[in-house]
Structure 1
């Protein structure tokens, strides 16, 4: 089998890519996983030689994307600048942030705004209400879309072809015994979400966590994100509490959609 100019085998998945960039990004992802690591640890994780890993780390360090402390490497603040810029460029972000804060204040729980990117549900804004339980998820986290309420809320209003593409690409992995892992079951739940207008996460991503989410739509009925409230199952499953949270989500999301439509 031949190779293209970037050094990859001639197959559709690797066409028009640059091998050295793939290598750097693999090292960055491994460093993200480890948080701090030695060259030898990153070489073992990625399968690249220590000499190759070291050269890429030095290049990234020179550009401010990796920092070094002795023989330990960690990600640098260069990514913070990029992440902030990406969020600033999000359409309507100046309207979204205060609405997520309003949801957190009114529900007293954790409120988040999520968007779909590359088949994952990505946290863009997060606010913690008075009773909110600190979650391990952070702004920028990419979550399996079928495991979380926001992801299901967005999937429900996507074209079937897009949903099928995401499922085929990422699969339906299980995080808990409650996670949907069957495509037919997922289709049934998405139909239910479309009918009721909100999605729920019943300990499907994290045990003892309950979340509800409402999609954010454009005037042309295109889903662009989702507003979510998460909290402990014992509190959020209470029928009165859940109803209040859903009503707050619907009300604030409707205001947000109007703001986005006229911004």
Structure 2
């Protein structure tokens, strides 16, 4: 059953998304992009501008900093996310590699915390996905990254189908899984091993090892991945050493999350 939604709110969100997609936009550019009348777009712009969700420089509208307030609140609302940030930072410092914590949102993966070790000379995924100083908030298709596959492996078949119905299996590289049956078979393997691999599936020459993070009730909170170049992620390090280290770190994190949850209810 299709849920009823507020059309006015949908239009405001379309305006916001388009302003961001275009990297800033004028009223004329938004009118050309959206199937909404010029007067209606102008009304939405003025409302969003007044509330601080947009800012205006000359004739160009940009995303306002009020979103930063909401984003930081969302990122720190759950104590588990803060604990995950500590794990990401400590693990990155330990192995001198990029580490990410990703959460499912809108049937995609959204990057919540990332630590890119300064001594690593390999260009990270950040250069491929964003020109911003921090890639936090970037979306991934779940099937193309190790964190995403680790999350998918925890979902019911119905949820996995919903994800694929929403976004399909877009090809990121020649190694990306684009066949549903192949993906489902991959998810079965992840459930058995406890870790997910992405071998040049999002960016060429980049390998990833991911593991889901669960809450006290067993539900999936997100996933953590170790990411690095293929020339450093070779043989036993990629298939055994990093998966074992990641599993140990995530197990410790889940214990911290469980203890924190119990403390809140004592």
TM-score, normalisation: structure 2: 0.88
Counterpart of 1:8?
A: none
1:39 aligns with 2:27: yes
The DSSP-based 3-state class of the residue aligned with 1:83 is: helix
1:135 aligns with 2:131: no
Counterpart of 1:147?
A: 144
- Backbone CA RMSD of aligned residues: 1.7
Return the alpha-carbon distance in structure 2 between the equivalents of residues 36 and 254 of structure 1.
43
Counterpart of 2:224?
A: 227
- Structure 1: 5+ residue stretches without partners: 1-11
Counterpart of 2:132?
A: none
Counterpart of 2:154?
A: 157
Residue 153 of structure 1, CA deviation: 0.6
Return the alpha-carbon distance in structure 1 between the equivalents of residues 52 and 77 of structure 2.
22
Residue 175 of structure 1, CA deviation: 1.6
Q: Which of 170, 174, 177 does residue 171 from structure 2 map onto?
A: 174
Residue 63 of structure 1, CA deviation: 0.5
Q: Which of 33, 40, 45 does residue 52 from structure 1 map onto?
A: 40
1:171-200: per-residue Cα shift (whole Å, max 9, x none)? 222122211111110111011111111111
The DSSP-based 3-state class of the residue aligned with 1:262 is: helix
The DSSP-based 3-state class of the residue aligned with 2:177 is: coil
Q: Which of 93, 101, 105 does residue 81 from structure 2 map onto?
A: 93
Residue 106 of structure 1, CA deviation: 1.5
The DSSP-based 3-state class of the residue aligned with 1:229 is: strand
Return the alpha-carbon distance in structure 2 between the equivalents of residues 94 and 192 of structure 1.
30
1:46-83: per-residue Cα shift (whole Å, max 9, x none)? 22233322221111111111111101111000000000
Q: Which of 53, 65, 81 does residue 69 from structure 2 map onto?
A: 81
Return the alpha-carbon distance in structure 2 between the equivalents of residues 90 and 122 of structure 1.
15
| Greater CA drift, 218-227 or 69-78 | 218-227
| Matched positions, count | 250
| Greater CA drift, 225-234 or 130-139 | 130-139
1:107 aligns with 2:95: yes
Q: Which of 9, 33, 42 does residue 21 from structure 1 map onto?
A: 9
8 Å Cα contact 2:198/2:208 also seen in 1:
yes
Counterpart of 1:121?
A: 109
The DSSP-based 3-state class of the residue aligned with 2:232 is: helix
8 Å Cα contact 1:119/1:166 also seen in 2:
yes
Q: Which runs of 4+ in 1 moved over 6 A?
A: none
Counterpart of 1:9?
A: none
1:62-105: per-residue Cα shift (whole Å, max 9, x none)? 11111111011110000000001111112412311111101111
1:185-220: per-residue Cα shift (whole Å, max 9, x none)? 011101111111111111212222211101112344
| Greater CA drift, 150-159 or 85-94 | 85-94
Counterpart of 1:3?
A: none
8 Å Cα contact 1:217/1:224 also seen in 2:
yes
